[in-house]
């Protein structure tokens, strides 16, 4: 048995006992614990103490500086103020960017040489929810160790620093312009988007004042939709989680293609002129094939347990190594770092081009796809020719937060039945969501009739288990 030191055992134990942090920060219904101003103030204070203790990249005697960004939810004002108060009470200076995509915050942390960044967002959820994500000085999501330290600090009282040691707050006025220029810099200077009519669906979210400008300044004729947030309409019948709105708009405006982002701008879906949708799996394939063609591709591709089997087979045919990580962009990024690779993503549209940015970025990923299309003078459909996705059926089943999927024998038996019937010509994946009280049931295979039957059968088994 390999030797494990005490610190490693402790880290493994803590990883199993995180109370608040999920796979993508903390998320929940506004007004219910933990998404309350009281909790956020204490969270800010605890995070401030941890960051001060870490003393990252700071000259002696200086205070840590943390950037706070948010999406367009009405509750963002309240939570931002509470978080700001907690950080300042801990002696941390705060920079405020206002509404800003999650990947923009990750970029600005590095550009401004700050110690950390925080995004107030519930990503693709509707406005009733909100949440929080932390980023390190390197622009990556915080490691488990620091999340545990922050959680541990919530058990300690909030003790305000003396007045002379309190932090200060400052608003960044040019945050949007800085990020727009950064996005544009990832697109080759010898190419532009002139002659393309593009519909950009901003999901009434954080990219509403960013994404259309990026595409327009690169030369595209841009029709922006979902660009009028009112605090309550984020992700409502628009964006990457409701692609029908973009499909209709592309056809109505006779556009060449459409780009849909989610509420915090870290995922992307695309639509061609005929209204056909291209998910994260397909967009990663287009980027990878183009890079291999240009001889700029190094290493392999990281997908997830949800990645369509046809994409894996296509990479195998191209002799591109492929690995599956657990669902969640942080796990994709962990694999990329471990392997020294540059490209990975999820079917949901989280795509990481690690040579361009430290985190998943919907705008930059879209630009990498557009680079491939312009460079090869191809459409989305032409770029995917020859790759036929296997039918997949995904059903989300609501369950109580206390629901224990791992101990449920009925669900395990249903999965075994399905796998036996598919007989190696498909996959079954049943997992608890890391961000919502849901069990996700996915069945994939050659026969659409079989996958529909087994997906519905397993979903009903989950529902019955919940009621028992």
CB of 177 closer than 8 Å to CB of 217: no
pTM for the complete prediction? 0.89
pLDDT exceeds 80 at position 468: no
Question: Which tens digit of pLDDT belongs to each residue from 104-119?
Answer: 999 999 999 999 999 9
DSSP character at residue 407 = G
Structure tokens at 142: 């915080």
Confidence of residue 58 (pLDDT cuts 50, 70, 90): low
Asked about 123 being catalytic, the answer comes back as yes
- Asked if residues 322 and 300 have their Cβ atoms less than 8 Å apart, the reply is yes
- What residues form DSSP beta bridges with 197? 221
Report the percentage of the chain scoring pLDDT > 70: 94
CATH of domain 278-383: 3.40.120.10
Contact 99, 172 (CB under 8 A): no
pLDDT for position 14: 42
Supply the pLDDT for residue 465: 85
Query: Quick one: residue 171, left, alpha or beta (phi over 0 = left, psi -120 to 50 = alpha)?
Result: beta
Label the pairing between strands 221-225 and 197-201. Answer: parallel
Domain locations in the chain as residue ranges: 19-173, 178-275, 278-383, 392-467
CATH architecture of 19-173: 3-Layer(aba) Sandwich (3.40)
Can you give the pLDDT at residue 186? Answer: 98
Burial of 2 (0-12, 13-18, 19+ CB in 10 A): exposed
Find the mean pLDDT for residues 218-239: 98
Q: Convert the pLDDT of each residue in 229-254 to its tens digit.
A: 999 999 999 999 999 999 999 999 99
- At 12 the pLDDT is 41
The whole-number pLDDT of residue 9 equals 35
pLDDT value, residue 436 = 79
pLDDT in tens, 430-454: 988 877 789 999 999 988 999 999 9
CATH code 3.30.310.50 for 392-467: yes
Q: What is the mean pLDDT of the chain?
A: 92
* 8: pLDDT strictly greater than 70: no
Helices (H), 55-174: 76-89, 102-111, 144-153
Got the DSSP string for 182-232? HHHHTS-TT---TT-EEEEE-TTSTTTTTHHHHHHHTT-EEEEES----SS
pLDDT classification of 6: cutoffs 50, 70, 90: very low
Whether residue 182 is predicted with pLDDT greater than 80 in this model: the reply is: yes
Q: What is the dihedral of CA 83, 86, 87, 91, to 10 degrees?
A: 170
Structurally, what CATH architecture does the domain formed by 178-275 represent? 3-Layer(aba) Sandwich (3.40)
Domains 19-173 and 178-275 share a fold: yes
pLDDT band at 184 (very low <50, low <70, confident <90, very high): very high
Question: Of these residues, 97, 123, 140, 347, which one is catalytic?
Answer: 123
End-to-end CA distance of the chain: 41
Q: pLDDT by residue (tens digit) across 279-330?
A: 999 999 999 999 999 999 989 999 999 999 999 999 999 999 999 999 888 8
Q: What is the pLDDT of residues 392-413, one digit of tens each?
A: 999 999 998 888 888 889 999 9
Q: Tell which wins on pLDDT, 163 or 467.
A: 163
Contact 270, 381 (CB under 8 A): no
Q: pLDDT digits over 123-159, tens only? A: 999 999 999 999 999 998 887 888 889 999 999 999 9
């Amino acid at each position: 048995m390999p030797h494990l030191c005490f610190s490693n055992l402790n880290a493994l134990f803590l990883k199993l006992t995180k109370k608040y942090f999920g796979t993508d920060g903390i998320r929940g219904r506004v007004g219910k614990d933990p998404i309350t101003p009281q909790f956020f103030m204490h969270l800010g204070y605890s995070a401030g103490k941890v960051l001060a203790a870490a003393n990252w990249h700071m000259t002696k005697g200086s205070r840590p500086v943390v950037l706070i960004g948010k999406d367009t939810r009405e509750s963002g004002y309240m939570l931002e103020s509470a978080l700001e108060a907690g950080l300042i009470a801990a002696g941390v200076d705060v920079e405020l960017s206002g509404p800003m995509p999650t990947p923009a915050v990750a970029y600005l942390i590095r550009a401004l040489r700050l110690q950390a960044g925080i995004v107030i967002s519930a990503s693709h959820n509707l406005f009733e929810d909100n949440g929080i994500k932390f980023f390190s000085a390197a622009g990556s999501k915080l490691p488990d160790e620091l999340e545990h330290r922050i959680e541990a600090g919530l058990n300690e009282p909030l003790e305000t620093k003396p007045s002379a040691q309190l932090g200060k707050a400052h608003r960044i006025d040019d945050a949007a312009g800085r990020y727009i220029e950064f996005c544009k810099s990832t697109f080759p200077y010898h190419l532009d988007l002139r002659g393309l009519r593009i519909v950009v669906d901003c999901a009434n979210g954080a990219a509403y004042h960013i994404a259309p400008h990026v595409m327009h300044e690169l030369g595209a004729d841009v029709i922006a939709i979902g660009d009028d947030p009112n605090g309550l309409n984020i992700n409502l019948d628009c964006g990457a989680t409701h692609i029908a709105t973009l499909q209709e708009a592309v056809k109505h405006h006779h556009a060449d293609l459409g780009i849909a982002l989610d509420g915090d701008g870290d995922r992307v879906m695309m639509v061609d002129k005929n209204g056909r949708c291209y998910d994260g799996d397909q967009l990663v394939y287009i980027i990878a094939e183009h890079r291999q063609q240009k001889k700029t591709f190094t290493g392999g591709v990281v997908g997830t347990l949800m990645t369509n089997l046809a994409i894996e087979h296509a990479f195998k045919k191209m002799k591109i190594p492929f690995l599956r990580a657990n669902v969640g962009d942080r796990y994709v990024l962990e694999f990329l770092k471990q392997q020294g690779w540059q490209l990975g993503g999820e079917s949901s549209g989280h795509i990481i081009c690690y040579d361009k940015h430290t985190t998943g970025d919907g705008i930059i990923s879209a630009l990498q796809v557009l680079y491939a299309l312009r460079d090869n003078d191809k459409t989305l459909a032409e770029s995917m020719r020859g790759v036929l996705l296997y039918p997949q059926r995904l059903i989300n089943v609501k369950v109580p937060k206390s629901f224990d999927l791992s101990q449920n024998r009925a669900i395990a038996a249903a999965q075994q039945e399905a796998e036996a019937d598919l007989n190696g010509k498909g996959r079954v994946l049943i997992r608890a969501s890391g961000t919502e009280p849901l069990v996700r049931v996915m069945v994939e295979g050659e026969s659409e009739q079989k996958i529909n039957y087994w997906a519905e059968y397993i979903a009903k088994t989950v529902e019955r288990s919940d009621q028992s």
